[in-house]
Homo-oligomer: A and B are copies of this chain.
Amino acid sequence: MALKHTILAFLSRQPLSGYDVAKEFAEGFGSCFWKASQQQVYAELTKLEQQGKVTYEAIPQPGRLDKKIYSITEQGQQELLDWLTKPCEPSAIREDLGVMGLAGHLVSSEVVIREIERRRQLHLEMVQQVKNLDEHFAKHLDSLELKDLYMHLIIRRGIRYQEEWVAWCDEALGAIAQAVKQ
């Protein structure tokens, strides 16, 4: 389970509120690598706080619940370090679209084609979106410190992932078009 460690990793870069962490998952890192809902983030932060891996400074907000700024503790840093040092396993793909490969012949080829075209468009948009995250790093590629290089490379993984999807969609659409024509 990497949610815990992803949150610790965010906090190792800078203190953040639960809201900010959730936003990272929704927009920044998460948009290309790991998504988590707000509720999940808040629940995990509470658990991490109870375990002493993070602490928070409560900032009173007039008329509503305190805003909590979380930081990583010594213990949390250690947990993260241990985890980073251990090898991690690749995860499975888990794509709904895969079912088309098993049972696509049950629907008309138009449905399959439409779906792949839709996917192509979505991934094309994702390419741009993830490239935007990389903009700053891509500009100073030769003078990146290691911290930023790693970030760049992981974003590159996201970019390549989305580009690869587009390329596969093209391959698939071409093959289906040819097969249907015959």
Contact = CB atoms under 8 A, between A and B. Distances in A.
B84 A111 contact: yes
A70 to B, nearest CB: 15
Interface residues of A, number: 74
Contact of A95 (B5, B33, B172): B33
A88 B143 CA distance: 41
B106 A12 contact: yes
* Copy count, this protein chain: 2
A36 to B, nearest CB: 9
Interface stretch (A38-46, A48-56, A57-65, A96-104): A96-104
A53 to B, nearest CB: 14
Interface string A97-140: 11111111111010110010011001100100000000000000
A69 interface: no
A112 B150 contact: yes
B179 A146 contact: yes
Interface of A: 2, 5-6, 8-10, 12-13, 29-30, 32-35, 77, 80-81, 83-85, 87-107, 109, 111-112, 115, 118-119, 122-123, 126, 144, 146-147, 149-151, 153-158, 160-161, 164-165, 167-168, 171-172, 175-176, 179-180
17 contacts: A2-B96, A12-B102, A13-B102, A29-B102, A32-B93, A34-B95, A80-B106, A84-B103, A87-B115, A90-B95, A91-B94, A97-B154, A98-B154, A101-B151, A101-B153, A102-B150, A149-B176
